[in-house]
Amino acid sequence: MTGSPVKRSFAGATLDYLGARFVGAGPETCSYTTQAIQIPLRDGVELAADLYEPELPDGQAPAGLILIQCCYGRGAGISFLNARVFAARGFQALFVSTRGTYGSGGIFDPGSNEQSDSQDIVVWMRQQPWYHGSFATLGASYLGYSQWALLHDPPADCVAAVIPVGPHDQAWHTWGTGSFRLDRASWSDMMSKKEDEKGSFLSLLANLPGLSFLRSPELDRAVAGLPLEDSLKKYFGDRAPWLFEYLQHPDVEDIYWTSRRHQIALDRAKIPILLISGWYDTFTTQTMHQFKHLHDRGVDVSLIVGPWTHVQGSGLHSTPDMLDFLAERLAKNGKYKYPPARIFITGSEEWRSMPTWPPPTQPKTLYLQENNSLAFKQPMQDAGPAFFIFDPLDPTPSIGGNQMSAGGRVDDSAYADRSDVLVFTSEPLSEDLEILGIPSVHLIHTSDPPFADLFLRISEVDDRGVSHNITEMYKALDPSRDTSQPLILDLQDCAHRFRVGTRARLIVAGGSFPMYARSLGTAENRLRSDKTAPQKHTITISGGVSQLILPVNAAV
Q: Which CATH class is domain 6-178+250-354?
A: alpha beta
Average pLDDT, the chain: 95
User: In the predicted model, what is the mean pLDDT of residues 105-122?
Assistant: 97
How far is residue 218 from each of residues 193, 195, 238, 533, measured CA to CA in Å?
A: 14, 19, 16, 26
The predicted pLDDT at position 198 comes to 39
| Digit-coded pLDDT (tens) for 448-487 | 999 999 999 999 999 999 999 999 999 999 999 999 999 9
How far is residue 522 from each of residues 196, 437, 519, 529, measured CA to CA in Å?
A: 44, 35, 8, 9
How far is residue 555 from each of residues 245, 359, 437, measured CA to CA in Å?
A: 49, 11, 15
Contact 299, 273 (CB under 8 A): yes
Q: Where in the chain is the domain with CATH 2.60.120.260?
A: 362-552
User: In the predicted model, what is the mean pLDDT of residues 146-171?
Assistant: 98
The predicted pLDDT at position 185 comes to 97
Please give the helix or strand (H or E) that residue 489 lies within, else none. Answer: strand 487-490
| Digit-coded pLDDT (tens) for 222-263 | 999 999 999 999 999 999 999 999 999 999 999 999 999 999
Q: Which of 163, 162, 148, 49 is nearest to 95 (CA)?
A: 49
The predicted pLDDT at position 206 comes to 43
User: If pLDDT is split at 50, 70 and 90, which confidence band does 1 have?
Assistant: low
| Digit-coded pLDDT (tens) for 506-515 | 999 999 999 9
Contact 181, 527 (CB under 8 A): no
The predicted pLDDT at position 77 comes to 86
User: In the predicted model, what is the mean pLDDT of residues 369-385?
Assistant: 94
Regarding the domain delimited by 362-552, which CATH topology (the fold level of the hierarchy) does it fall under?
Jelly Rolls (2.60.120)
- Higher-confidence residue of 405 and 178: namely 178
Contact 449, 510 (CB under 8 A): no
Q: Distance between CA atoms of 514 and 396, rounded to whole angstroms? A: 9
Contact 254, 556 (CB under 8 A): no
Contact 69, 146 (CB under 8 A): yes
Strands 386-390 and 535-539: antiparallel
Angle, helices 114-126 vs 142-151, to 10°: value is: 70
pLDDT beyond 90 at 367:
yes
Query: What 3 state SS string does 165-233 have?
Result: CCCCEHHHHHHCCCCCECHHHHHHHHHCCCCCCCCCHHHHHCCCCCCHHHCCHHHHHHHHCCCHHHHHH
pLDDT beyond 80 at 202:
no
| Digit-coded pLDDT (tens) for 538-552 | 999 999 999 999 999
Q: What is the pTM of this model?
A: 0.95
Q: Where in the chain is the domain with CATH 3.40.50.1820?
A: 6-178+250-354
